[in-house]
Amino acid sequence: MSSVFDRKVFEDVEEGHKKWEKKLDKIFSSKPERLERFSTVSDREIKRIYTPEDVRDSDFANDIGFPGEYPFTRGVQPSMYRGRFWTMRMFAGLGSAKDTNKRFHLLVNQGQTGLSTAFDMPTLMGYDTDSPKARGECGKCGVAIDSLMDMEDLFEGLPIDRITTSMTINPPASILWAMYIAVAENRGIDKRIIGGTIQNDMLKEFIAQKTFMCPPVPSVRVITDTVEFGTNEVPKWNTISISGYHIREAGSTAVQELAFTLADGIAYTQEAIDRGLNVDDFAPRFSFFFNSHLDFFEEVAKFRAARRIWARVM
């Protein structure tokens, strides 16, 4: 391993750092209140200053590397987003399927390049609109979808063969996805060319969001069923969106968000492997959904760590 800096640079930096610390201590000696501890949102301590000393043991090739190359610390796209802009999709869903369809058309006409569907609570929990348990909740915080007809109304006139659709749905993910596939096939669109994402992350529900219908074991079995089906029949679809966002919103630190989310992803991967699937066939269609707080450098470090850990685990 070769250092980014030569020995003389480190010697100069170390000497300068010592002088600087002494100067700072002298300034603060009469102002003790200025010596309070500084930390990130996740309570990771922030040092007074950072120098080449902090990266003297780093190995550029193995720890940092180039964008688009293992371990993908700096991103999975070689040109980052200069060569291909990211998909723009605003989370949308309200009232009836026809109400949300109008919203979708407006967004697409304004330049949105993908769709992101918010379902109401009864739909998230597998209840029809006419269920007594759905009373007062239908069409709030999302769109109400009960049937294939509703799904057809939701995507009426939208080019689902050319744009991707994200669906934030977990326990009944396989049912809503089946409806979407049926809508495509009824239009004569081959399911092998449609693209999008179902959240389909049940372990996260037990950790954070709490919209679950079955215990963990059968929940994970259903998820593995969707992974197997998607791998064989709908190859352009992301069969899981492994979600740290909800874990962070439930109160975790950035470190905990990463730990729980990647653990969930590892568990899904192992289940699919145990089912007999080839990891190189299904894992490229596992997507991730992380939070991004305002602590800029901590969030950068979190995303970089997530890519590197996942690459090495895979």
The pLDDT assigned to 29 comes to: 75
Phi, psi of 249 (to 5 degrees): -65, -25
Nearest Cα to 191, choosing from 206, 203, 173, 179? 179
Three-class SS of residue 123? helix
* 58-313: CATH, from 3.40.50.2020, 3.40.50.920, 3.30.230.10, 3.20.20.240: 3.20.20.240
Q: What is the pLDDT of residues 136-180, one digit of tens each?
A: 999 999 999 999 999 999 999 999 999 999 999 999 999 999 999
The pLDDT assigned to 53 comes to: 87
The pLDDT assigned to 6 comes to: 78
Asked if residues 223 and 240 have their Cβ atoms less than 8 Å apart, the reply is yes
- What is the value of pTM for the model shown? 0.90
The pLDDT assigned to 1 comes to: 46
**Regions in the chain scoring below 50 on pLDDT:** 1
Domain ranges of the chain: 1-57, 58-313
C-alpha distances in angstroms, 53 versus 22, 176, 283? 18, 53, 38
